[in-house]
């Protein structure tokens, strides 16, 4: 399928490419079958986040592709966070051009126990676990690097590639789990992230922003006793009414643009509690006994650090307005920060649109960040101009039937190869 898709990369008469970029185009087409086979092998190797050996194996497969291109590859063990680790590959160029950081991830949401396995083609689509998120992105990165080598532009380029092994279920603490990615962002002049390309009704978009992902846990308490005394001065309202008050006040008082706040699970009774992993909620009780405790978990997704902080402060204030005879606390996780839509990020999209024009491809406008989830690019966006969604077109992410559009892989590889080569040729 890649080979057929590569035929569409023939240079149109309106394209404006320099000789090296014409070579990149030819290289992407020539390597199409190789990259399709690589994607199939990656998809067939399970690398669910908690399959530590599988994640390491995918890392070894990527190493085998990058080391022959002149990258110095190292594995950063993350046993201390409960995860496999990260692959970091560095290509040292002449030290004069802009330093480019490329971000992808080795893991998927599909653990070995998942019934969704295999690799199947349907027309121009390939269906398989992680085919788009993010093994298709990994292949786009490798294909772009091979095209640059074939054109001679890789030799002078300073490139760092970070592929995390726990993007789908990050290890804890995040300060350690994302330490090396954050450090790479501080070294870079521009960052590109290779999760799926944003599309809508056949149009392709640039992702200049992603929202945060912060989990919250709410715990309420109340006096337990016979329900005949509920609402009275000695018994009060009980833990469940306090939980309901808080959640309903969230619904009424928090709305603002680009913000969502979800309640994912809750339980209340005598007692109501979470398991040690805070994934399973259980409760016991009777209709005639007021609840002693209640719990709920959810998340916040905000567009900017300021919005994130403001909403958490509002939530805390709501929690502290207790009903008589009750108490409540809320705790926020150390989550994914927002990737705000900065002028610098938009400048990277403008550079990509220069490439699009020179390749005679449609211009990309900004994608609505409310329609995108959080990603590793958010950890570097505070330090470096960043563009997300440089991977292939894909769909059904995190679900059975996940697919990747094979025709988009060589197209995205060529876009990246040209863009990265142009940045690498500019003085820092």
Taking the domains of the chain in order of start, what are their residue ranges? 2-210+337-424, 214-332
pLDDT tens digits, one per residue of 309-331: 999 999 999 999 999 999 999 99
Q: How far apart are CA 138 and CA 316, in angstroms?
A: 40
Q: How distant, in Å, are the alpha carbons of 9, 242, 299, 324 from that of 385?
A: 29, 44, 26, 50
Q: How far apart are CA 174 and CA 151, in angstroms?
A: 39
The pTM (predicted TM-score) of the whole model is 0.91
Please tell me the predicted confidence (pLDDT) of residue 217: 97
Place of tokens 């996940």: 402
Please tell me the predicted confidence (pLDDT) of residue 5: 47
* CATH classification for the domain delimited by 214-332, as one of 3.30.70.360, 3.30.1440.10, 3.40.50.720, 3.30.70.260: 3.30.70.360
The encoded tokens of residue 214 equal 């912060």
Q: Please say whether the structural domain 2-210+337-424 has been given the CATH code 3.40.50.1110.
A: no
- In 147-184, which positions are buried (b, 16+ CB within 10 angstroms) versus exposed (e)? bbbbbebbebbbbbbbbbbbbbebbeebeebbbbbbeb
Q: How far apart are CA 299 and CA 310, in angstroms?
A: 15
Query: Which segments of 301-407 does DSSP mark as H helices, in order?
Result: 305-319, 343-358
Please tell me the predicted confidence (pLDDT) of residue 4: 43
Q: How far apart are CA 177 and CA 171, in angstroms?
A: 6
Please tell me the predicted confidence (pLDDT) of residue 279: 81
Q: How far apart are CA 62 and CA 87, in angstroms?
A: 8
- Average pLDDT per consecutive 10 residues, the chain (428 residues; last block may be shorter): 47 74 96 96 98 98 98 98 98 96 98 97 96 97 98 98 97 96 98 97 96 96 96 96 98 96 96 88 95 97 95 98 98 92 98 97 95 93 97 96 97 98 95
Cα 123 versus chain centre, distance: 27
Would you list the DSSP string of 168-221? Answer: SS--SSHHHHTHHHHHHHHH-SEEEE-SPPEEETTEEEBB--B--BEEEEEEEE
Please tell me the predicted confidence (pLDDT) of residue 241: 98
pLDDT tens digits, one per residue of 70-121: 999 999 999 999 999 999 999 999 999 999 999 999 999 999 999 999 999 9
428: Cβ–Cβ under 8 A, 6 or more apart, which residues?
A: 96, 97, 98, 99, 189
């Amino acid at each position: 399928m890649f080979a057929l898709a590569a035929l569409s990369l023939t240079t149109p008469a309106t394209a404006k490419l320099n000789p090296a970029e014409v070579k990149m185009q030819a290289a992407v087409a020539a390597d199409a079958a190789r990259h399709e086979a690589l994607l199939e092998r990656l998809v067939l190797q399970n690398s669910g986040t908690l399959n530590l050996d599988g994640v390491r194996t995918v890392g070894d497969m990527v190493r085998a592709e990058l080391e022959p291109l002149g990258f110095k590859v190292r594995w950063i063990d993350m046993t201390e966070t409960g995860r496999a680790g990260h692959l970091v590959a560095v290509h040292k160029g002449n030290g004069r051009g802009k330093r480019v950081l490329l971000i992808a991830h080795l893991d998927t949401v599909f653990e070995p126990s998942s019934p969704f396995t295999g690799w199947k083609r349907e027309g121009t689509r390939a269906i398989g676990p992680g085919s788009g998120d993010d093994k298709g992105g990994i292949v786009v990165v490798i294909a772009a690097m091979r095209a640059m080598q074939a054109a001679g532009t890789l030799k002078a380029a300073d490139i760092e590639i970070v592929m995390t092994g726990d993007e789908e279920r990050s290890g804890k603490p995040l300060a350690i789990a994302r330490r090396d990615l954050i450090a790479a962002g501080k070294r870079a002049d521009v960052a590109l992230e290779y999760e799926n390309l944003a599309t809508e009704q056949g149009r392709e978009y640039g992702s200049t922003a992603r929202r945060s992902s912060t989990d919250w846990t709410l715990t309420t308490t109340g006096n337990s006793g016979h329900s005949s005394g509920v609402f009275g001065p000695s018994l009060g309202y009980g833990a469940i009414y306090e939980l309901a008050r808080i959640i309903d006040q969230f619904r009424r008082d928090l709305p603002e643009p680009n913000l969502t706040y979800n309640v994912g699970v809750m339980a209340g009774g005598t007692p109501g509690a979470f398991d040690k992993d805070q994934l399973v909620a259980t409760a016991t009780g009777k209709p005639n006994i007021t609840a002693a405790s209640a719990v709920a978990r959810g998340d916040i997704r905000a567009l900017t650090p300021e919005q994130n902080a403001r909403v958490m402060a509002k939530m805390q204030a709501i929690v502290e307005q207790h009903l008589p005879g009750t108490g409540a606390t809320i705790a926020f996780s150390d989550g994914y920060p927002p990737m705000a839509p900065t002028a610098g990020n938009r400048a990277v999209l403008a550079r990509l649109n220069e490439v699009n024009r020179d390749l005679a491809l449609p211009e990309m406008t900004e994608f609505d960040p409310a329609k995108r989830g959080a990603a590793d690019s958010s950890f570097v966006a505070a330090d470096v101009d960043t563009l997300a969604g440089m991977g292939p077109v894909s769909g059904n992410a995190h679900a059975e039937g996940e697919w990747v559009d094979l025709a988009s892989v060589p197209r995205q590889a060529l876009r990246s190869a040209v863009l990265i080569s142009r940045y690498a040729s500019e003085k820092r």
